Structure 1
Amino acid sequence: MATDVDFIAYVIEQAGLGARLTHRRMFGEYALYVDEKVVAFACDNSLFVKPSAAATRLTPHLPQRSPYPGAKDYPVADELLDDPDRLRTLLLETARLMPVPKVKRANSSGKAKKT
């Protein structure tokens, strides 16, 4: 079952991060970004936060499961959707720990190329 765009809108509203929290559709599901860093995935209308020291420290009690077949387990942050302050803190702290995205440069044809 693919994630509803209404679920994404709800997550964004609850997080209260404005334009800092964005999303991109990926294979019928969504990746969520804070300041262009992937911090979570929305799969089957559940919020899976990237495993990190922030998740371990701030929300050690969250259940863990695989967001899609073959993936490692991720903390499932659905219960934080009712606690916007904790959700926002978790997303911001996760973003702080994630690497800066690599800059894409144009190749000779003018198309962006991954580096």
Structure 2
Amino acid sequence: MSSQQKTVDYILEQSADAGTMTAKKMFGEYGLYCDGKIVALVCDDQLFMKPTAAGRDYIGVVTEGLPFSKATPYFLIDGGHWDDADWLAGLVRVTASELPLPKPKKTKK
């Protein structure tokens, strides 16, 4: 089952204060980016945040889940937290702060 566009749009809207938020389709699901850094996945209409130490501290009691089979565990963010825009943007902000910028793509010769 793939995620609905309206779910992704809502999460992007709620976390907009974290920075420039975008989404890209990936294998029928979505990757969420903050200022060019991939910070989360939306799979089966569930939000999976990349695990970071700052994110763990921010969340407190963490629930982990697998966005897809053979994935490493991500922080599974309960839908009840999606409605709190300040909380969600804060989580995205602290997560993005610990992640590296993506490597530049190599140009083809």
TM-score when scaled to structure 2?
A: 0.91
Structure 1 counterpart of 2:68:
68
Report the number of matched residues: 108
Taking the TM superposition and a 5 Å limit, the aligned residue runs for 1:39-78 are 39-78=39-78
Match in the other structure for 1:7: 7
Partners of 1:5 and 1:47 lie apart in 2 by 13
How much does 1:51 deviate?
0.4
Deviation at 1:14, TM superposition (A): 1.2
Unaligned runs of 5+ in 1: 109-115
Q: Deviations over 1:20-71 (max 9, x none)?
A: 0001000000000001001000000010000001221100223211111111
Aligned to 2:31, the other structure's residue is in SS state strand
Distance between the aligned counterparts of 2:73 and 2:18, measured in 1? 28
Q: Please name the residue that 1:22 is paired with.
A: 22
After superposition, the C-alpha distances for 1:71-98 in whole angstroms (9 at most, x for unaligned) are 1221111332021111001101111110
Is the 2:40–2:50 contact (alpha carbons within 8 Å) kept by the matching residues of 1?
yes
Greater C-alpha radius of gyration: 1
Q: Which ranges of structure 2 fall in alignment gaps of 5 or more residues?
A: none
**Runs of 4+, deviation exceeding 2 Å:** 16-19
**Alpha-carbon distance in structure 2 between the residues aligned to 1:74 and 1:3:** 17
Whole-angstrom distance in 1 between the partners of 2:97 and 2:19 = 17
Determine which structure has greater relative contact order: mean sequence separation of CA pairs < 8 Å that are 6+ residues apart, divided by chain length.
2
TM-score, normalised to structure 1, is 0.87
8 A contact 2:19–2:93 mirrored in 1: no
Contact 1:20 1:34 in 2 (8 A): yes
2:30 aligns to what SS in structure 1?
strand
Q: Percent identity?
A: 36
